[in-house]
Structure formats: structure tokens, C-alpha cells
């Protein structure tokens, strides 16, 4: 069991690295296409990329396929229904989250977007309250530090929050719900299949918005092929699937801690690849938020209470 947790932790760490660099791809992609167009194409690519992966995994694990085929029709029907529900719910939520993030990146820096997105590490334990899981004092201290961090990161001298920062904050809320939904469904269905469905759903929904609010052009999409392929194959197809696989059997709060390292990687990627630098004030905000991320994961003293 311990080996599995170590393996899953490494999988989630790789996921965080891919996502951190993906902020650069998303920022560069916006130079060519609109947010809905970018997310439509990347999600469809991610979903289609997973179809052959599912076929290969089925061949590598024929015993699991035989076990599923050996189940009675009612059980198979229930499992298919649960898989479809999980994929649709995750697809709708990831569509909202990714498009909020994409719009937000248009108005803020890669580093700030990465750190604000990482607020889901604090939000996830708080959402646990709705499932009768109490937050430890360290979580509430983390919330206070996160608010301070957001102030230094996002609030200007005139006490005005930037539009991009606000959109990315809403994105963090949506990603928090996504983590909780994955935690529920990943115990019941095949994670790779659910990931495939979620991206196809996200792609279709983003495509509808793309045609309603944007004027997509094939030439622009082709011009953005590098960031689109990175975001589609690695960020969507690989990383989100790794998240689902790596989160299986893991405490969602611990999983979100590892995933939140994308914030640090996004700052480094933005600095190295885009030469985006944070001001001293913004760096102070990053320090506060990173401290909040760590504190949110410290276990409470009371072992008898169910805390997150």
C-alpha cells in the first residue's frame, strides 16, 4: 500500500510539472486563437489521444477486461451509467474551469495565474465541510494566509482586483469541485475512460461557445499548433489522466498539495520561457500563498476527529 502511495505521489508530481509548463502554452496560444477555440481544440485532441491509449491498456490487462465481461448485464449497465455520469460531470466542470483560466491568463501573468489557481489546495479542505469533514486549525490559518497572499498578488494600490486575477480565482473554485468529483467517481470506474469522456464533453461545450462568441479560423489554429498540441496531448490527454490515476486511493487533500506545486513550476516556466518577472509585492504574495498551501496540509492534533 505504501509503494502504491509513493507511485501515485510521483505520478501527481509529474502531473504538476506538465500543468506548470502548460501555463506558458496557454499564454502563447492566446496570441493566435480565442479562449473557447483553444480549449475546444485542445480538449478534442486530448480526448481522441486517449482512445488508442484505452485500447492499448485493455490489451495489456486482458484479465480486467475478462472480469468486466464476466459480470452480469445489470452490473455492466450500472457501471456504464456511472462512467458516463462521471465523465459528463467532470467534463462540464473542467469546461468551466479551463475556460475561466484561459480568459484569466489573457489579463494576467503566467506566474500569478499559477499561484492563484493553486488556491484549490485551501478550498478543497473547506469543501470537505459539506461532507461533514472538519478542518484543522492549520487549514483555517492557511485560509488567512491565502487571503493575505491574494491581496499582495492581485489587489493594486487602489484596492482594485484585476479582471484576470478574479477569473483565475473562480477557476480555482471550479478546479476544487473537480478534484472532489474525481475523488468520488475514480473509486467506481476506469479513470482513463472517464478522462476521455470528460475531454470530449469539454471539447463539445467549448466548441458551442466558440461558434457563438468567436470566429475561429483554421489558419489561426494551425499557426498555434505547438501550444495547442502541448496543451491537448500533454496537459489534457496525459496530465489529467495521470491526475485521475494518481489520485486513486489518495487522500484528496494530500493529492491537491502535490498538484499545487504547479504554481511554483508556472513561475519558473514563465521566467525562463517568457521572461515574465514578478514584482517584489507579487513575490511576497507568492510566499504567503505557498505558506498557506503547506499549512493547509498539516494534520490536526485531534486524531479522533475526522479532519482534512
Q: Does 153 have pLDDT greater than 80? A: no
Listed by start position, the domains of the chain span 2-116+162-250+261-276
- Residue listed under C-alpha cell 502563447: 28
102 against 159, higher pLDDT? 102
pLDDT > 90? residue 297: no
pLDDT at residue 133 greater than cutoff 50: yes
Q: What is the pLDDT of residues 241-288, one digit of tens each?
A: 788 788 777 777 667 767 777 777 887 888 888 877 778 887 888 788
Contact 256, 128 (CB under 8 A): no
The pLDDT of residue 184 is 85
Question: Which pLDDT does position 1 carry in this prediction?
Answer: 55
- Residues 167-174 have a mean pLDDT of 93
Residue 114: pLDDT band (50, 70, 90) is confident
The larger pLDDT score, comparing residue 104 to residue 237, is at 104
- Answer yes or no: are the C-beta atoms of 244 and 192 closer than 8 Å: yes
Amino acid at each position: 500500500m505504501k509503494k502504491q502511495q509513493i507511485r501515485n505521489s510521483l505520478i501527481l508530481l509529474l502531473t504538476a510539472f506538465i500543468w506548470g509548463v502548460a501555463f506558458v502554452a496557454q499564454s502563447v496560444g492566446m496570441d493566435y486563437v480565442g479562449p473557447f477555440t483553444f480549449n475546444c481544440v485542445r480538449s478534442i485532441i486530448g480526448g481522441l489521444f486517449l482512445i488508442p491509449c484505452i485500447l492499448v491498456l485493455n490489451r495489456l490487462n486482458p484479465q480486467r477486461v475478462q472480469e468486466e465481461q464476466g459480470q452480469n448485464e445489470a452490473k455492466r449497465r450500472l457501471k456504464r451509467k456511472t462512467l458516463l455520469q462521471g465523465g459528463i460531470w467532470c467534463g462540464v466542470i473542467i469546461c468551466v474551469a479551463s475556460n475561466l483560466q484561459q480568459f484569466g491568463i489573457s489579463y494576467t501573468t503566467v506566474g500569478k495565474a499559477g499561484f492563484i489557481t493553486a488556491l484549490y489546495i485551501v478550498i478543497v479542505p473547506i469543501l470537505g465541510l459539506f461532507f461533514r469533514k472538519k478542518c484543522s486549525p492549520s487549514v483555517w490559518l492557511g485560509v488567512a494566509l491565502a487571503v493575505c497572499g491574494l491581496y499582495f498578488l492581485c489587489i493594486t494600490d487602489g484596492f482594485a482586483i484585476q479582471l484576470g486575477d478574479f477569473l483565475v480565482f473562480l477557476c480555482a473554485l471550479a478546479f476544487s469541485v473537480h478534484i472532489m468529483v474525481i475523488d468520488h467517481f475514480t473509486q467506481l470506474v476506469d479513470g482513463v475512460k472517464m478522462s476521455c469522456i470528460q475531454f470530449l464533453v469539454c471539447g463539445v461545450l467549448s466548441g458551442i461557445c466558440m461558434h457563438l462568441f468567436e470566429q475561429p479560423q483554421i489558419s489561426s489554429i494551425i499557426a498555434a499548433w505547438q501550444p495547442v498540441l502541448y496543451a491537448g496531448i500533454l496537459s489534457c490527454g496525459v496530465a489529467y489522466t495521470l491526475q485521475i490515476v494518481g489520485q486513486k486511493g489518495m487522500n484528496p487533500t494530500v493529492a491537491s498539495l502535490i498538484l499545487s506545486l504547479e504554481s511554483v513550476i508556472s513561475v519558473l516556466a514563465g521566467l525562463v520561457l517568457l521572461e515574465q518577472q514578478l514584482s517584489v509585492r507579487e513575490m511576497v504574495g507568492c510566499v504567503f500563498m505557498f505558506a498557506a498551501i503547506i499549512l493547509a496540509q498539516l494534520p490536526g492534533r485531534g486524531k479522533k476527529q475526522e479532519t482534512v
